[in-house]
Amino acid sequence: MGTLHEECGVFGIFSPERAPLANLSYFALAALQHRGQESAGIAVNDDGVITTARDVGLVSEVFSQNRLKDLGEGTIAVGHVRYSTTGSDSRRNAQPLRINHYKGQLALAHNGNLTNAQLLRRELESTGSIFHSTTDTEVIAYIIVQERLRSRCIEDAVSAAMDRLEGAYSLVLSSPSKLIAVRDPHGFRPLCMGALPGGATVFASENCALDAIGAEFKRDILPGEIVTVSRAGTVSNTSHCGLFPKTLCAFEFIYFARPDSVIDGCSVQAARQRAGRILAQTHPVDADVVIGVPDSGLDAAIGYACESGIPYGIGFVKNKYIGRTFIAPEQELRERAVSIKLNPVRKTIEGKRVVLVDDSIVRGTTSRRIVSLLRKAGAREIHMRSAAPPFVSACCYGTDIDSPQTLIANRHSIKEIADLIGVDSLGYLPVESVKALPEHECGLCSACFDRNYPTAISGDLAKSRFEFKIHAAAEEP
């Protein structure tokens, strides 16, 4: 699929005793690396003094052993991996954000996208707020600090801030003495809670991060829930729960999450295999082998093979040492990026009628290059199947599709798309099947496929809406 990205992954830990929490945060963030590969950061709270380290790059690139050691020990830590959906990928936009205010310091990590960020930022700037980043995360932090002025405690301030925030946000934040986890009332992005032997409480975007540090999964955070952990214990505030129908992003199951994760009680791997089975039922074809595009297309390909009876084969070998940070200096090398990452297995493909299963088709560029690789490897026929419906609308809740004009399905028919990417046939997952992917009803948002947005949309939603050149801005009076 190749060109669609999710914003980030978050992690938080509260320990009853001082400990080198940066090390645990490092391993948890490494397990969440698939959710964001532009930047990484960790903030460690030692008795109200928060030390942060954040930079552009993968977790392993940002944090050396010495840098982890420099973060010291503490009782609270917050971590983040990022892919930008609001603001550029510069270091200033790396998280967690650290804010100094009259009640002490605050560290915040955010997964999602506010739909009213532009309105809130204008409101804040009109009263004197000065922004240092171009992310909506800083808007959230300022709203919380503003509400703290009139609240008796930080959790009340967070609750009041939720009355003003709209859109998608799963948060972990550290106040001087508390760790707080928040999930927006729609539940767009996942967030779960676990426990470590010895009494530490942890939160993460996916349970695979809990597994990575040996934590026991306890439960998912409810949509609208605020969970506060301190030395006094764990307190849940559900005053914002049940305000709206739950609309977890459907693409968590199709692409974003790791296959070994379980989100809101539903297996990601099982959902992807179910997508493949539905594709085999709705778009059957005579073929010799079914192959998947690594990594998120593999389970759907297995599901297609099981349902259709066509043998499953390993069609590509993925170079795991070339990540999304690979930047080719010249156009010719950029064109070869797909072949550097993926190499077809000729023995599986040559002379065969191939069913090619991928998680989705967004702009079509990557699909066309993958199909070209298969043709060069001797495929006789290529029948492509997408484990997602056609993308026809912009996403407002945390993926980098801010313009429908870039979406191939928004401009071309299925037959035209098949011709453009060079396949003999093309089939998409039916949009009405999306809600059937999880093993039980869990409430999904499928607005990018059907234009049914679950929230009001206000203001400019472009990724660069807080970044502009002088000629594009209003002139100063």
Q: Are residues 224 and 313 in the same domain?
A: no
Phi/psi of residue 472, nearest 5 degrees: -95, -10
The pLDDT value given to residue 456: 82
The pLDDT value given to residue 124: 87
Q: Are residues 218 and 352 in the same domain?
A: no
The pLDDT value given to residue 476: 37
Has residue 467 got a pLDDT over 80? no
Per residue in 277-335, pLDDT (tens digit) is: 999 999 999 999 999 999 999 999 999 999 999 999 999 999 877 654 333 444 455 45
Phi/psi of residue 150, nearest 5 degrees: -120, 20
Q: Does residue 457 sit within a domain?
A: no
Cα 300–chain centre separation: 19
The pLDDT value given to residue 89: 53
The region that residue 233 occupies, defined by phi over 0 for left and psi between -120 and 50 for alpha, beta otherwise, is: left
339 or 79, higher pLDDT: 79
Per residue in 195-226, pLDDT (tens digit) is: 999 999 999 999 999 999 999 999 999 999 99
Q: Are residues 224 and 283 in the same domain?
A: no
Q: Does residue 473 sit within a domain?
A: no
The pLDDT value given to residue 335: 53
Per residue in 384-403, pLDDT (tens digit) is: 999 999 999 988 897 766 67
**Maximum distance among all alpha carbons in the chain?**
71
The region that residue 447 occupies, defined by phi over 0 for left and psi between -120 and 50 for alpha, beta otherwise, is: alpha
The pLDDT value given to residue 128: 76
Q: Which of 94, 80, 8, 9 is nearest to 44 (CA)?
A: 80
Burial of 11 (0-12, 13-18, 19+ CB in 10 A): buried
Span 351-373, mean pLDDT?
95
Percent of the chain residues past pLDDT 90, beyond the cut: 77
The pLDDT value given to residue 2: 43
Q: Are residues 128 and 183 in the same domain?
A: yes
Q: Which of 247, 281, 300 is the last residue of a domain?
A: 247
Q: Report the DSSP pairing between strands 104-114 and 167-174.
A: antiparallel
The pLDDT value given to residue 21: 98
Q: Are residues 34 and 137 in the same domain?
A: yes
Q: Are residues 169 and 290 in the same domain?
A: no
Contact status, residue 427 vs residue 279, Cβ threshold 8 Å: yes
Q: Are residues 55 and 182 in the same domain?
A: yes
Rounded distance between C-alpha atoms, residue 144 and residue 161, angstroms: 5
The pLDDT value given to residue 461: 52
Q: Which of 247, 282, 300 is the last residue of a domain?
A: 247
| Torsion, Cα of 117, 443, 260, 294 (10° steps) | -70
Cα 297–chain centre separation: 17
Q: Are residues 193 and 135 in the same domain?
A: yes
Confidence band for 255, pLDDT divided at 50, 70 and 90? very high
The pLDDT value given to residue 334: 47
Q: Are residues 234 and 364 in the same domain?
A: no
Contact status, residue 383 vs residue 285, Cβ threshold 8 Å: yes
Q: Are residues 287 and 393 in the same domain?
A: yes
Q: Does residue 472 sit within a domain?
A: no
Find the range with the poorest average confidence among 180-184, 316-320, 373-377: 316-320
Judge whether 8 counts as a catalytic residue: yes
The pLDDT value given to residue 460: 52
Q: Which pTM does this prediction carry? A: 0.90
Span 167-181, mean pLDDT?
97
Domain count within the chain: 2
73 or 92, higher pLDDT: 73
Structural domain boundaries enclosing 287:
269-322+329-444
CATH of the domain at 43: 3.60.20.10
Span 118-128, mean pLDDT?
88
Span 419-428, mean pLDDT?
98
The pLDDT value given to residue 211: 98
Q: Are residues 68 and 159 in the same domain?
A: yes
The pLDDT value given to residue 390: 96
Confidence band for 337, pLDDT divided at 50, 70 and 90? low
Most confident of 91-100, 285-294, 438-447: 285-294
Contact status, residue 109 vs residue 78, Cβ threshold 8 Å: yes
The pLDDT value given to residue 86: 47
